Chains A and B, each alone.
Chain A
């Protein structure tokens, strides 16, 4: 189980307060689809994914990115029980969506990159370390119900 110190929780929550969830979500998901093109297979019904600009501008990508990141925002309120928080979504991603759990790590890395891009110097090594722990914990929680 992932344990967050008081400082790590404070760092994560404080940065999260400044994140535009809609924008960051769309960007993180978009970058996943651009940088790791095989992930597009999960979004066949999203329309035009034929180029980087098509992907980044695609309204379904933006909407879904927002949905994913909103869910992460919920988890930030429950950092002591990520497995419980994501149990239902874990089952969904395994049983119905058939998503390889490796992709959760890839998306987590994309989110860290997007945060670094937005926050620049404010995304200090300590802030990065706390967030890498967070996305790793979320990836583990989402993989937890796989069978």
Chain B
């Protein structure tokens, strides 16, 4: 995956903590079966409970920070995410389809935050990155 500047330029304006919490929260709201991976997170009983849940926010921040790291290594996403891929397969047992879902939710959150600045070329660049990250996270699955 090659960045053409669109991605890094937009990412510089992203509040990783806020966007991470929002993306993960929306995943749990829009695709409720994903809540099964977060049973220890406490109250997930309603959209407002989910969006306000401090564990969701903290974990969203963690996920997006890892994604952020990935943006510095777009030429080697598979290497960058190898360890996380093994973790998600061997220990967390997460269906890799969920990486695609979270990537799509992130694109929606970016559109929501940036409005017209999230132009079609910027969207296209991001869509390529989230697909690359999802593939990298699925790469070590067996």
Question: Which A positions have Cβ atoms within 8 angstroms of B?
Answer: 30-31, 34-35, 52, 55-56, 109, 112-114, 116-121, 123-126, 128-129, 132
Q: Which of A52, A124, A132 contacts B120 (CB 8 A)?
A: A52
- Tell yes or no: B10 within 8 A of A by CB: no
Residues of A within 8 A of B102 (CB): none
Q: Is the CB of B118 within 8 A of A55?
A: no
Q: Is the CB of A31 within 8 A of B120?
A: yes
CB nearest to B116 among chain A residues: A117
Q: Is the CB of A125 within 8 A of B29?
A: yes
Report the bound CA distance from A120 to B29 in whole Å.
17
Q: Is the CB of B47 within 8 A of A125?
A: yes
CB nearest to B108 among chain A residues: A116
Q: Is the CB of A34 within 8 A of B30?
A: no
Report the bound CA distance from A79 to B75 in whole Å.
45
Q: Is the CB of B124 within 8 A of A128?
A: no
Q: Is the CB of B121 within 8 A of A116?
A: no
Residues of B within 8 A of A125 (CB): 25-26, 29-30, 47, 50-51
Tell me the chain B residues, 104-142 only, with Cβ under 8 Å from chain A: 104, 107-109, 111-116, 118-121, 123-124, 127
Residues of A within 8 A of B120 (CB): 30-31, 34-35, 52, 55-56
Q: Is the CB of A116 within 8 A of B112?
A: yes
CB nearest to A125 among chain B residues: B29
Report the bound CA distance from A109 to B104 in whole Å.
8
CB nearest to A119 among chain B residues: B112
Looking at the assembled complex, report how far the CB atom of A20 sits from the nearest CB atom of chain B, in whole angstroms.
Answer: 14
Best-buried of A56, A112, A124, A125 by chain B (most CB within 10 Å): A125
CB nearest to A133 among chain B residues: B30
Report the bound CA distance from A113 to B110 in whole Å.
9
Q: Is the CB of A112 within 8 A of B124?
A: no
Q: Is the CB of A128 within 8 A of B51?
A: no
Known: A116-B109, A125-B29, A128-B26. 13 other contacts (CB 8 A): A34-B123, A35-B123, A52-B120, A52-B121, A55-B120, A56-B120, A112-B108, A117-B111, A120-B113, A125-B30, A129-B30, A129-B47, A132-B30
